[in-house]
Amino acid sequence: MLTPKKWKKQLQEEHGTAIVMLALAMTVVLGSVALVADVGVNFFTQAHLSVAADAAALAGGTKLKEGTDRVIQTAVEVAVKNGIDADKVSVLVDGSGDGVTVTTKAPLQLFFATIFGSEGGEMAQSARVVMARPVGMYKMFPVGIDENQTFEFGQNYKLFAKKGTTDEIDLGAGNSGALEFTENASGAAEFEYYLREGYDELISLGDILYPKSGVKYSAIKSGIAARLNDAQALGHNCSPTTCPPDCPRILYIPVYHAYWENSKVVEVEVVDFAAFWIDATQLGNGEWKIDKEINGVFIRITKGGYISEVGESPYGITSGKLVQ
């Protein structure tokens, strides 16, 4: 039988064991908490690095046509805006100039784990963007050009032209380039909507479109005026080189292969896309001076928001495609 004295000793011994057990358990628990906390922090850092690398590579990718320095400058700017230190960004432009790889880095966060003696390191995420061309676009303008028609970027031309003077796009007699997106489709109102807003559905390479006859100049005029007013309302400086890609003043037009029958175009097949910036003078009363044709210049532009494939189009619309 235990005497009160022995009881006390026994209890003290058990108490001592419990403290040791508790200390051991606490170490394991704290270690696990530290590990979980560090894994959590680093998981977020890793995701952050990845988002920043993607954004930087995509931004840099829009400048591939402007040379290596511009690509690097833009990519670093965007990475920094996304919270990465400038000295933790590396930008590698392909020798061919057709692609860019951005790597973002951050130290491995071992805030808790260092207590338990772990060594620090570095995390990195890479993103690669290559030059791409559109194979399907939305907001197509319902006037196109023939693939046999050549043009120079930045030079003045007239779209929707019926006669072959020097600056008119010559599409052949009786072909104005005006198009229907579906066979036997729209009335005048629908066509006027497309002039203002573009076609809502996706137009892809290989799609068949139909020539539209009987287009009134008044429709062209009101459509173009609406675009000019919308662009003005956006308040940016509208010029062929400074307009953002979604400016209503930029017409995205199909480049087509025409199928002729009895000296008439019966249907056309979309073979590429081009961007045409509308040139117009504003009169004193705020109205736009719009001729019977659509005046403007073909521009090179980098734009997203369409279906693309790796490659480059001679018609000047490019985008960067994230490939890794």
Number of H helices, E strands in the chain: 4, 16
If the CB atoms of residues 63 and 227 are measured against Zn ion, the closer one turns out to be 227
Report the run of H or E that residue 270 belongs to, with start and end: strand 264-278
If the CB atoms of residues 53 and 243 are measured against Zn ion, the closer one turns out to be 243
In terms of Cβ atoms closer than 10 Å to its own Cβ (0-12, 13-18, 19+), residue 68 is: middle
Q: Which of 196, 162, 155 is nearest to 178 (CA)?
A: 162
In the complex, least distance from residue 290 CB atom to Zn ion, rounded to whole angstroms:
16
Concatenated DSSP letters for 105-118? Answer: EEE---TTGGGGTP
In this structure, the chain runs to a length of 324
Neighbours of 216 (CB within 10 A): 11
Site residues, Zn ion (CB under 5 A): 231, 238, 243, 247, 249
In the complex, least distance from residue 214 CB atom to Zn ion, rounded to whole angstroms:
31
In the complex, least distance from residue 153 CB atom to Zn ion, rounded to whole angstroms:
17
In the complex, least distance from residue 249 CB atom to Zn ion, rounded to whole angstroms:
4
Cβ-closest position to Zn ion: 247
Q: Which of 265, 231, 240, 270 is nearest to 253 (CA)?
A: 270
If the CB atoms of residues 209 and 243 are measured against Zn ion, the closer one turns out to be 243
In the complex, least distance from residue 179 CB atom to Zn ion, rounded to whole angstroms:
24
If the CB atoms of residues 234 and 266 are measured against Zn ion, the closer one turns out to be 234
Q: In 176-289, which residue ranges form alpha helices assigned H by DSSP?
A: 188-197, 217-234
Q: Which of 247, 65, 214 is nearest to 141 (CA)?
A: 247
**Tokens 């137009």 -> residue:** 203
If the CB atoms of residues 112 and 288 are measured against Zn ion, the closer one turns out to be 288
In the complex, least distance from residue 281 CB atom to Zn ion, rounded to whole angstroms:
15
Residue 203 to residue 137: CA distance in whole angstroms: 5
In the complex, least distance from residue 301 CB atom to Zn ion, rounded to whole angstroms:
11
If the CB atoms of residues 95 and 235 are measured against Zn ion, the closer one turns out to be 235
If the CB atoms of residues 230 and 291 are measured against Zn ion, the closer one turns out to be 230
Beta bridge partners of 236: none
How far is residue 236 CA from its own chain's centroid? 20
Residue 161 to residue 173: CA distance in whole angstroms: 10
